[in-house]
Structure formats: structure tokens, C-alpha cells
């Protein structure tokens, strides 16, 4: 164990600058995931602290205000549940990045006589170290954005910084959780990668994802309808648990839908760039979904909350609630967009590093840099456009019965906001343009 850790440290120090790029990408991912998670937890804590009706306590406030305070906490929990899964997914992406790009080095170590256990320790040490550096950077990032978060107005007032600064213990717990997620994700990735002395198997035809995923999603949808809908006043915990199950189910069925769409697109793709993009989507639908799935969900949340705003609030509390729903949805969308853009940017950059020899071969054979960029952009744009269009369409169709009461301005704002979020995620592909340029340099 000591020998493995010592060897890992020596190899780390000796790593070439080129080999450090995946490490930097992993650290950036862990940092963004940690910062986003801390902002979510801080927001939730602030709403709980503001809630005038702690469970089981009577209050002298009016029933309306007490109920609305409780509603804010429930909504904060729902928003946090929506955000936690993409944030954890980003943590998983970072951990896989820490593992995946080490296939050749691990195989070389096995050839040199390292045992499987030593290789595992070294790999997980790498993932844990990157997670710790990333998480600590994330804490700094969180503290840096707090003044901006504090300016958000909810319930008619902005936050005090003291409401949003988490106690040291909670902050340390979040940092610890990120490191644990990295180790668990890393160990699970490592288990899937056969680290033999001859390295990992070459890419073969991808296995189809099981249609069971669709059945699981249908069951979760049914649970939502059958469990939550009949309840007049469902417990907050019940809502959060069932919502979490629905989100997990959507995450299960999403990659299957993306896979089917990718296969259909590959069959009909008319150009080289579209064909490459479609094949990559069909090959790795899970990673494609990781980039776009959360955004689809956020579009649905933003759609319902922003379009359902009260036109003519009767009381100041209703006015607050109406405006705050829009603000909360927007904050959720912004955080998910940042997390999704980071995830997409990092996955795309890692893919270029993985395939730099193929990029060079294509360039040598006369493929222009523009074609390479177009294929990468399409790889993100196709599922992104599909997900956003389906999510936005879903919201607008469900809102059709209330068409006469809908504010046209709000509909336009919803569509524009969704498009901007999609554009930001798509723009994250641009971050790795210089890597493509370097990889495809022929001379």
C-alpha cells in the first residue's frame, strides 16, 4: 500500500505537461460540482432558517404566511433535488476522467510487475487527490459567488451573507462527500475497465441499452400519479423522495431515447459530420444524456414555474410567491446550465485527447479543421436541440388548456431563456477548439 502510494506520487510529479490536461479538466469539474452543491445547500439552509413555522411548533403569524414559508422550503427542496443529480453526475464525469485516461499507464505498470491491488490504490489515490483539490477550489468559488447569490430577492428581501455562509462542519461534509463520490465512481469505473497487462479491449460495437429502462421510467411516472396526485397535502419528504425517483427514472430512460435517436440519425445522416456525430451519440448515449438531460429537466421546471405565475396577485404574499417562483426557476436553470456546460466541455475535451491520433490521421488525409469542429458541435447540438424542444414542447402542450390566461411575454421569455441555456451548453464545446487544432496539426 505504502509502495503504491509512493510510486503514485513519483509518477504524478514526473507526469509530462501534456498528461496533465485530463487532470486539470477533472479538477475543474470537481470544483464546479462542489461550488454548485455548496450554493444549493446554502440556499436550502437559508430558506429553512427563514421558515417561520418549524415543524411541530405553533406560531403567532398568519396562516397564509406560515403556509407560504413552508411552501418555500418545499420548493427549495424540489429545486435542490433537481440540481443534486446533475451535480453528482458531474462529479462522476470527473472521476471517470481521472481513471479513463490512465489505461495505458496502468497497463504499463502491470507489465512492470505492479499487482492489481497496487494499481487500484494508485488510481483511486489519483481520483481522491484530484477531487480534494477540486473540492477545495470549489469552496473558494462558492465563497466568491456568494455576494452575487445574496443579491437575489426572495420573499421581498435579499439574503444576508451570514444566511448563506455554511458552518465549517457542513462545508467540510460537502468536501468529504465530493471526495467519497470520486472514490466510489472511480472504483466503479475501474471495475468496468479490465486492467490487464495488455491494456484494455479495443472499441467494439456498443451494446444496446435495455428497454427495461423505459418500463422503469413508466413505473416511476405511475408512482408520481398514483402516490402524489391523490394526496391532498403530501409530506415534504414524500414529494422529495418520489420526485427523486422520477428524476432517476428520467435519467434511466433518457440515454435509451438518445441511443434510439442516435441510431436513427446515423442511418439517415447525409453528411460526414452528421454521420460522425450520430455514431458517437449512439455509441455513448449515457455520456450524451449526462450533458443534456439535466437541462431538459430544468427547462420543464422553468416552464411550469414561470408560466404558472399569477397574473394579478391579490396579496403581497401572492405577489412575492409569483415573482419568487420565476426567480427560483431561473436560478435552478442557471446552476444546471453551468453544471451541464462544464460536463459537456470536459467530456468533449477528454474525447479529443482520447482520439488525437485519429484527428491527426483525418487532417493528414485532407479533412479541414472546420469539418472536425462541425462534427463535434453536431454531436452536442443534435441531442441538445431534441431534448430542449421536447421539454419545452411538453410544457407548452400541458399549458394549452390555459392558453387564454397565459401571458405572451412570459411564453417568449421562457422560449428565449431555454434557447440561451442550450446555447451556453453548446458553446462549451468551443472551449476545446484549441485541443482540436493541436491534435489535427499535420506538420
Partner 1 sequence: MSHNDLDNASGHPDRDLVARDLVMTYGKGRSGGQSGPPALGGVDLIIRSGQSLAVMGPSGSGKTTLLHVLAGILRPTGGQVLWRGRDIARMSDRERTVLRRKDFGFVFQQGMLLPELPAIENVALPLMLDGTSRSQATARAATLFAPLGLSGFEKRRPGELSGGQAQRVAIARALVARPGVVFADEPTGALDQTTSGEVMRHLTELTAHTGASLVVVTHDENVAAWCHGVVRVRDGRVVEHSAQAAR
Please, which residue, 228 or 260, has the CB nearer to partner 1? 260
Q: Looking at 275, 319, 323, 386, which residue binds partner 1 (CB under 8 A)?
A: 275
Query: Binding-site residue total for partner 1 (CB under 8 A)?
Result: 29
Please, which residue, 152 or 275, has the CB nearer to partner 1? 275
- Does position 207 interact with partner 1 (CB under 8 A)? The reply is no
- Does position 162 interact with partner 1 (CB under 8 A)? The reply is no
∠ CA(165), CA(168), CA(40), 5° rounding? Answer: 45
DSSP state of 405: G
The answer to whether 125 and 3 have CB atoms below 8 angstroms apart is: no
The answer to whether 305 and 228 have CB atoms below 8 angstroms apart is: no
Q: Which of the stretches 39-47, 195-203, 234-242, 380-388 binds partner 1 when contact is defined by CB under 8 A?
A: 195-203
Q: Looking at 68, 85, 252, 276, which residue binds partner 1 (CB under 8 A)?
A: 276
Q: Looking at 110, 279, 290, 376, which residue binds partner 1 (CB under 8 A)?
A: 279
Q: Which of the stretches 80-88, 265-273, 380-388, 412-420 binds partner 1 when contact is defined by CB under 8 A?
A: 265-273
Q: Which of the stretches 48-56, 207-215, 357-365, 387-395 binds partner 1 when contact is defined by CB under 8 A?
A: 357-365
CB-CB neighbours of 309 under 10 Å: 17
User: In 3D, which of 26, 273, 18, 6 has the Cα closest to residue 121?
Assistant: 6
- Does position 382 interact with partner 1 (CB under 8 A)? The reply is no
Please, which residue, 279 or 290, has the CB nearer to partner 1? 279
- Does position 196 interact with partner 1 (CB under 8 A)? The reply is no
- Does position 260 interact with partner 1 (CB under 8 A)? The reply is no
- Does position 6 interact with partner 1 (CB under 8 A)? The reply is no
Q: Looking at 59, 104, 271, 315, which residue binds partner 1 (CB under 8 A)?
A: 271
- Does position 104 interact with partner 1 (CB under 8 A)? The reply is no
User: In 3D, which of 71, 46, 78, 240 has the Cα closest to residue 153?
Assistant: 46
The answer to whether 182 and 94 have CB atoms below 8 angstroms apart is: yes
What pairing do the DSSP bridges indicate for beta strands 153-154 and 157-158? antiparallel
Q: Which of the stretches 152-160, 198-206, 243-251, 253-261 binds partner 1 when contact is defined by CB under 8 A?
A: 198-206
- What is the C-alpha separation between 297 and 392, in angstroms, rounded? 10
- What is the C-alpha separation between 342 and 431, in angstroms, rounded? 10
The answer to whether 194 and 99 have CB atoms below 8 angstroms apart is: no
- What is the C-alpha separation between 71 and 81, in angstroms, rounded? 15
Q: Least separation, in Å, of the C-beta of 189 and partner 1? A: 19
Q: Rounded to the nearest 10 degrees, how much is the dihedral formed by the CA atoms of 74, 79, 81, 82?
A: 150
Please, which residue, 155 or 367, has the CB nearer to partner 1? 367
The answer to whether 37 and 84 have CB atoms below 8 angstroms apart is: yes
- What is the C-alpha separation between 16 and 396, in angstroms, rounded? 52
Q: Which of the stretches 20-28, 78-86, 251-259, 276-284 binds partner 1 when contact is defined by CB under 8 A?
A: 276-284
Please, which residue, 70 or 354, has the CB nearer to partner 1? 354
Build a one-symbol-per-residue string for 282-301: x at contacts with partner 1 by CB under 8 A, - elsewhere. -x------------------
- Does position 103 interact with partner 1 (CB under 8 A)? The reply is no
The answer to whether 265 and 281 have CB atoms below 8 angstroms apart is: yes
Q: Looking at 203, 233, 314, 401, which residue binds partner 1 (CB under 8 A)?
A: 203
The answer to whether 40 and 87 have CB atoms below 8 angstroms apart is: yes
- Does position 364 interact with partner 1 (CB under 8 A)? The reply is yes
- Does position 309 interact with partner 1 (CB under 8 A)? The reply is no
In degrees rounded to 5, what are phi and psi of residue 146? -55, -45
Q: Looking at 2, 162, 204, 404, which residue binds partner 1 (CB under 8 A)?
A: 204
Count Cα atoms within 13 angstroms, Cβ side, for 195: 29
Q: Least separation, in Å, of the C-beta of 95 and partner 1? A: 23
Burial class (CB within 10 angstroms; exposed 0-12, middle 13-18, buried 19+) of 308: middle
Give the bridge partners for 395, in sequence order. Answer: none
- Does position 438 interact with partner 1 (CB under 8 A)? The reply is no
Please, which residue, 70 or 283, has the CB nearer to partner 1? 283
Give the bridge partners for 154, in sequence order. Answer: 157
Please, which residue, 149 or 209, has the CB nearer to partner 1? 209
Please, which residue, 139 or 363, has the CB nearer to partner 1? 363
Q: Least separation, in Å, of the C-beta of 266 and partner 1? A: 9
Counts of helices then strands in the chain (DSSP H, E) = 16, 2
DSSP state of 52: S
- The binding site for partner 1 (CB under 8 A) comprises 201-205, 269-272, 275-276, 279-280, 283, 355, 357-358, 360-368, 371, 442-443
Amino acid at each position: 500500500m505504502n509502495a503504491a502510494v509512493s510510486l503514485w506520487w513519483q509518477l504524478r510529479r514526473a507526469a509530462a505537461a501534456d498528461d496533465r490536461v485530463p487532470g486539470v479538466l477533472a479538477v475543474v469539474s470537481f470544483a464546479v460540482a462542489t461550488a454548485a452543491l455548496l450554493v444549493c445547500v446554502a440556499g436550502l439552509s437559508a430558506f429553512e432558517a427563514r421558515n417561520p413555522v418549524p415543524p411541530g411548533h405553533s406560531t403567532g403569524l398568519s396562516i397564509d404566511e406560515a403556509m407560504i414559508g413552508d411552501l418555500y422550503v418545499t420548493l427549495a427542496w424540489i429545486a435542490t433535488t433537481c440540481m443534486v443529480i446533475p451535480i453528482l453526475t458531474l462529479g462522476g464525469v470527473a472521476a471517470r476522467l481521472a481513471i479513463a485516461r490512465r489505461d495505458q499507464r496502468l497497463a504499463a505498470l502491470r507489465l512492470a510487475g505492479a499487482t492489481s491491488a497496487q494499481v487500484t490504490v494508485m488510481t483511486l489515490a489519483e481520483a481522491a487527490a484530484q477531487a480534494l483539490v477540486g473540492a477545495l477550489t470549489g469552496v473558494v468559488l462558492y465563497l466568491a459567488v456568494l455576494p452575487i447569490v445574496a443579491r437575489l430577492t426572495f420573499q421581498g428581501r435579499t439574503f444576508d451573507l451570514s444566511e448563506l455562509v455554511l458552518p465549517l462542519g457542513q462545508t467540510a461534509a460537502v468536501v468529504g462527500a465530493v471526495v467519497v463520490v470520486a472514490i466510489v465512481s472511480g472504483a466503479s469505473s475501474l471495475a468496468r475497465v479490465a486492467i490487464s497487462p495488455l491494456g484494455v479491449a479495443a472499441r467494439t460495437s456498443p451494446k444496446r441499452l435495455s428497454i427495461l429502462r423505459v418500463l422503469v421510467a413508466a413505473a416511476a411516472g405511475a408512482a408520481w400519479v398514483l402516490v402524489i396526485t391523490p394526496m391532498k397535502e403530501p409530506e415534504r419528504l414524500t414529494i422529495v423522495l418520489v420526485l427523486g425517483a422520477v428524476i432517476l427514472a428520467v435519467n434511466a430512460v433518457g440515454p435509451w431515447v438518445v441511443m434510439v435517436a442516435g441510431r436513427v440519425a446515423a442511418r439517415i445522416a447525409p453528411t460526414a459530420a452528421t454521420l460522425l456525430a450520430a455514431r458517437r451519440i449512439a455509441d455513448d448515449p449515457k455520456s450524451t444524456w449526462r450533458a443534456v438531460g439535466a437541462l431538459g429537466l430544468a427547462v420543464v421546471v422553468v416552464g411550469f414555474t414561470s408560466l404558472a405565475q399569477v397574473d394579478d396577485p391579490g396579496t403581497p404574499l401572492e405577489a412575492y410567491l409569483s415573482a419568487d417562483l420565476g426567480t427560483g426557476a431561473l436560478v435552478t436553470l442557471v446552476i444546471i446550465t453551468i453544471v451541464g456546460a462544464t460536463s459537456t466541455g470536459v467530456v468533449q475535451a477528454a474525447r479529443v485527447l482520447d482520439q488525437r491520433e485519429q484527428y491527426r490521421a483525418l487532417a493528414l488525409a485532407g479533412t479541414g479543421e472546420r469539418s472536425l469542429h462541425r462534427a463535434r458541435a453536431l454531436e452536442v447540438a443534435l441531442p441538445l436541440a431534441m431534448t430542449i424542444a421536447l421539454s419545452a414542447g411538453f410544457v407548452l402542450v400541458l399549458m394549452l388548456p390555459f392558453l387564454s390566461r397565459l401571458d405572451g411575454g412570459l411564453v417568449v421569455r421562457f422560449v428565449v431563456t431555454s434557447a440561451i441555456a442550450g446555447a451556453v451548453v453548446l458553446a462549451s464545446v468551443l472551449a476545446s477548439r484549441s485541443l482540436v487544432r493541436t491534435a489535427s496539426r499535420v506538420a
